[in-house]
Chain A
């Protein structure tokens, strides 16, 4: 036990001696949360909309102002004419053009139907898709208003109208703040990077510099060495989770609904995986570069298929099947659940069990491999 404590102490000294590492551990997570919390926002704002209003009627002006009523759209610096719409798009002067033809107002007033044109710049397809969705929602509301006006003008008709009224209720996040969903994801990301990368490099670094052999001639057993090389990173990971969580609660007013106990338990299981991967990578690698690249390769793959950026339901069946062995996916689901939904350990079981299985397999393999290499 003493030996392990000494090893942990040694590892911490080594980490703390390097000012950059200290900054990386303490400041980088906060910075990342700050930037990602603000940037990872799928709410659209300030979409540049150019208007070609050939009608200049009250109805057309009402339609235009309904687009600019929120901060979703803002007027582009150029005004459009029907002939130069494509040119405006090519020059990136507008993301969307709204074209209102002549006689639009007259048709609406007469109770006829009118057509407007919406032209979208599709070079950024996610932005284009969202903006188109918002535009049709605005049009739908405008249509509701017009239809209501028409019905009100005809009391006999109005009395005969009945409809299905949807009542929507959002639970867990009634104001629909994207960052409440994103920041728990950032917590997961930071734990993954810190624990995976640091442990992946720790042993191989000693190998590369030649100090590993010195350690091995001392009466330290391989298991003690493993403990000494993994526990410090587990401690740092917990520290960072705490740091980011507190920062998120104080700065972003992130709700924390669930139990600290469940979060810690899941983190412990997840650390088995990341530290195991790091350890495994460092036993099969000769240089830090190799080890880092291996960890990095696995990590990017895991992050992309975890549901962090992109919903798993959306993936094609083959990729969706691959996500079943992705530990990050399970951990992410538990962390988001704890933060937002106050899930109970029973709710988390479908995630915790696979996480534990993967953790035990990976860490076990790493230990076995390491002992074989060293002994």
Chain B
């Protein structure tokens, strides 16, 4: 125990001697939460749409008025001819062009069908689809109003939906960003810091000096990683505190339950860090590897932003090998739905922790001895 503490103290001194790295390790997660929390809103807003109005009647102005009445779409201004639409797309000045033909108002007043054209920049497919959906909904509403003015109630919507959203009724993004970021940050920071700490000693040659000292290799390992585990734990706590205090992310479940599952996840992260440091010889390699195998999969394949069910089969399999996939379900379940019992996810995480840790210790020992 004394030896372990001595190694840990040495590691803490290393950390304190390089305050900039420590600041980055602590500020980075905070910055990510603040930025994601404030800046990332999956709901689209303020999409600029240009209007080409050949009609110039109260009816056409009413159409434009209705289109821009919500803050989903803003009027990017009137343009004079068709060529300007594509030019605006190439310069990303607006996302769609609404072409109102000459005679639009007259046809409506006479009770005739009229066409209007919507030209959409399809480059950003998801946004283009959303713009299309929105504009067609507005037009459907106009048509409904036309019908209603002629036929009264018989023209109402036949099936009306009452939508209710559970657990996050306003669909606030912080409530989904903060749990997701916790999963990404914990594994990223923990794996990154531990793997760099070990490979640095390898690279500078001091690891051999430590090993010649009368300390067992597992003691070296434990002493070295404990301080970094602490930093990762502090980061996690900070992210959750900021999420709670600044963004008012709900906490429906119990903090203790969350802490328990998080500890298992922390062990998995640690095992990743040790595995990386066993494989890589230089800090450069360790760092890039840590980013590649922890940060990217946790961010992209875990179901944090992109739905796993929508991915191709092979990627779905890979996604189920990513620890963050399970932890994410747990932390969302605890914080937003108030669950506390996750037999499947908890079991998989325990298995992963045990498996990766055994593998890491084996690799690590065989490299050292």
A positions within 8 Å CB-CB of B: 18, 20-21, 24, 28, 32, 35-36, 38-48, 63, 86, 89-90, 92, 108, 111, 113-129, 132-133, 135-137, 139-140, 142-144, 146-147, 150, 157, 160-174, 176-178, 180-181, 193, 197, 201, 205, 208-209, 285-290, 292-294, 296-297, 300-301, 304-305, 309-311, 313-316, 319, 333, 336-337, 340-344, 347, 350
Residue of A nearest to B319 (CB): A39
Q: Is the CB of A137 within 8 A of B315?
A: no
Most buried by B among A28, A341, A350: A341
> A125-B173, A297-B28 given. 18 additional CB < 8 A pairs?
A20-B280, A24-B285, A43-B310, A113-B160, A114-B158, A118-B163, A122-B171, A126-B42, A126-B173, A139-B161, A164-B146, A165-B113, A177-B125, A209-B203, A300-B32, A301-B31, A311-B127, A316-B38
B159 touches A297 (CB 8 A): no
Hey, which chain B residues are within 8 Å of A139, CB to CB?
Answer: 159, 161
| B89 in contact with A341 (CB, 8 Å) | yes
CB contact between A117 and one of B39, B164, B175, B318 (< 8 Å): that residue:
B164
Tell me whether A293 and B20 are in contact (CB under 8 A): yes
Q: Is B10 an interface residue (CB 8 A)?
A: no
Residues on B with beta carbons closer than 8 Å to the beta carbon of A290: 18, 20-21
Contact A113 B159 (CB under 8 A): yes
Chain A residues near B306 (CB-CB < 8 A): 39-42
Contact A39 B333 (CB under 8 A): no
Closest CB of chain A to B339's CB: distance in Å? 6
Cβ-defined contact, A314 with B41, below 8 A: yes
Task: Let me know if B7 is at the binding interface, CB within 8 A.
Answer: no
B368, CB-defined interface residue at 8 Å: no
Give the chain B neighbours of A347 by CB distance below 8 A. Answer: 87, 90-91
A116 contacts across to B, CB distance below 8 A: 159-162
Q: Which residues of chain A are near B38, meaning CB under 8 Å?
A: 316, 319
Partner of B164, one of A120, A127, A136, A143: A120
Most buried by B among A147, A296, A336, A343: A147
- The docked-state distance in angstroms from the alpha carbon of A94 to that of B163 is 15
Inter-chain contact B90/A289, CB cutoff 8 Å: no
Smallest CB gap from A299: residue in B: B291
For A133, give the chain B residue with the smallest CB separation: B133
Instruction: Answer whether residue B215 sits at the interface, using C-beta atoms and an 8 A cutoff.
Output: no
Q: Does B176 contact A (CB under 8 A)?
A: yes
User: Do A120 and B136 touch (CB < 8 A)?
Assistant: no
Within 8 A of A (CB), among B255-314: 280-285, 287-289, 291-292, 296, 300-301, 303, 305-307, 309-312
List, in ascending order, chain B residues with CB within 8 A of A117's CB.
161-164
A333 touches B92 (CB 8 A): yes
Q: Which of B149-157, B219-227, B230-238, B351-359 contacts A (4 or more CB under 8 A)?
A: B149-157
Q: How far is the CA of A177 from the CA of B122 in the complex (A)?
A: 9
- B123 engages A180 (CB within 8 Å): yes
Nearest residue (CB) in A for B63 is A164
Q: State the CA gap A286–B173 with chains docked (Å).
A: 39
List the 5 closest A-B pairs by CB distance, nearest first: A122-B168, A170-B122, A173-B122, A46-B309, A126-B42
The one of A89, A133, A165 that contacts B337, using a Cβ cutoff of 8 Å: A89
Q: Judging by beta carbons under 8 Å apart, are B112 and A162 in contact? A: yes
State which residues 123-154 of B face A: CB under 8 Å: 123-130, 132-133, 135-137, 139-140, 142-143, 146-147, 150-151, 154
B25: CB under 8 A from chain A? yes
B369 contacts partner chain A, Cβ-Cβ < 8 Å: no
What CA separation (Å) do A125 and B168 show in the bound complex? 7
Whose C-beta in chain A lies nearest to the C-beta of B125? A176
Contacts of B136 in A (CB 8 A): 166, 168
Q: Which of B111, B120, B176 contacts A123 (CB 8 A)?
A: B176
B48 at the interface (CB under 8 A from A): yes
Q: Within 8 Å of chain A (Cβ to Cβ): is B251?
A: no
A115 vs B162: C-alpha distance when bound (angstroms)? 7
In the assembled complex, which residues on chain A have CB atoms less than 8 Å from the CB atom of B129?
176
**Quick one: which of A39, A125, A150, A166 contacts B172, CB cutoff 8 A?**
A125
Q: Which of B31, B133, B143, B160 contacts A163 (CB 8 A)?
A: B143
Set of chain A residues within 8 Å of B163, measured between Cβ atoms: 117-120, 132, 135-136
List the A side residues contacting B247 at CB < 8 Å. none
Contact across chains for B196 and A166 when beta carbons are under 8 A apart = no
Q: A147-B158, A167-B118 are in contact. Are A289 and B126 (CB under 8 A)?
A: no
A121-B336 Cα distance, complex, nearest whole Å: 10
Q: Are A167 and B123 in contact (CB under 8 A)?
A: no
Residue of B nearest to A59 (CB): B159
Taking a contact as CB atoms under 8 Å apart, the answer to whether A150 and B158 are in contact is: yes
Encode contact with A along B20-36: 1 for CB under 8 Å, 0 otherwise.
11001101100110011
CB-CB nearest in chain B for A15:
B284
Contact with A along B197-223 (1 / 0, CB 8 A): 000100110000000000000000000
By a CB distance below 8 angstroms, the chain B residues around A166 are 115-118, 135-136, 139
Which one, B21, B32, B284, B312, contacts A205 given CB within 8 A? B284
Q: List chain A residues, Cβ under 8 A from B48.
A: 313
A350 B91 Cβ-Cβ under 8 A:
yes
Whether a CB of chain A sits under 8 angstroms from the CB of B329 is yes
A41-B311, A172-B123, A205-B284 in contact; A164/B142 too (CB < 8 A)?
yes
Determine whether the beta carbon of B24 is less than 8 Å from that of A121. Answer: no
Least CB separation from B124: chain A residue: A181
User: What A residues does B46 contact at CB under 8 A?
Assistant: 313-314
Residues on B with beta carbons closer than 8 Å to the beta carbon of A63: 159
Among B76-111, those with CB < 8 Å from A are: 86-87, 89-92, 107-108, 111
B40 at interface by CB-CB < 8 Å:
yes
> Given A115-B160, A117-B162, A314-B41, are A38 and B122 also a contact pair (CB < 8 Å)?
no
Q: Tell me, rounded to whole Å, the shortest Cβ–Cβ distance linking B191 to chain A.
A: 13
Task: Provide the bound-state CA to CA distance between A315 and B112, in Å.
Answer: 42
